[in-house]
């Protein structure tokens, strides 16, 4: 399996039990652009379908911009965009 396929499997496994909260730490960090885009699409579709709360920690502006609320760490302080 590719890294992207492993990431998608990990997300699906986390959602099988229909949790109310999904914590994702750099879910696209080790993926190429296309795989990261596919994973983002899948996560956002599942979030809409299953209505769980999603908290993502990421360095990816593309992924962060898909979130409803974004907080950034600036000079050691958490600020909301």
Q: Does 3.40.50.300 match the CATH number of domain 3-80?
A: yes
Rounded distance between C-alpha atoms, residue 38 and residue 81, angstroms:
25
Label the pairing between strands 77-80 and 21-25: unpaired
Per-residue pLDDT tens digits for 9-67: 888 898 888 899 999 999 988 888 998 898 889 889 988 998 899 999 999 998 999 99
Q: If you search the block for the tokens 């974004």, which residue do you land on?
A: 70
Where exactly are the structural domains of the chain? 3-80
pTM for the structure as a whole:
0.81
Beta strands in 1-81 (DSSP E): 21-25, 53-57, 71-74, 77-80
């Amino acid at each position: 399996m590719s890294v992207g396929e492993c990431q998608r499997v990990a997300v699906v496994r986390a959602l099988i039990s229909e949790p109310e909260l999904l914590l994702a730490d750099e879910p696209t960090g080790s993926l190429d652009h296309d795989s990261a885009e596919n994973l983002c699409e899948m996560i956002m579709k599942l979030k809409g379908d299953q209505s769980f709360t999603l908290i993502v920690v990421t360095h990816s502006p593309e992924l962060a911009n898909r979130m409803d609320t974004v907080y950034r760490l600036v000079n050691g302080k958490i600020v909301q965009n």
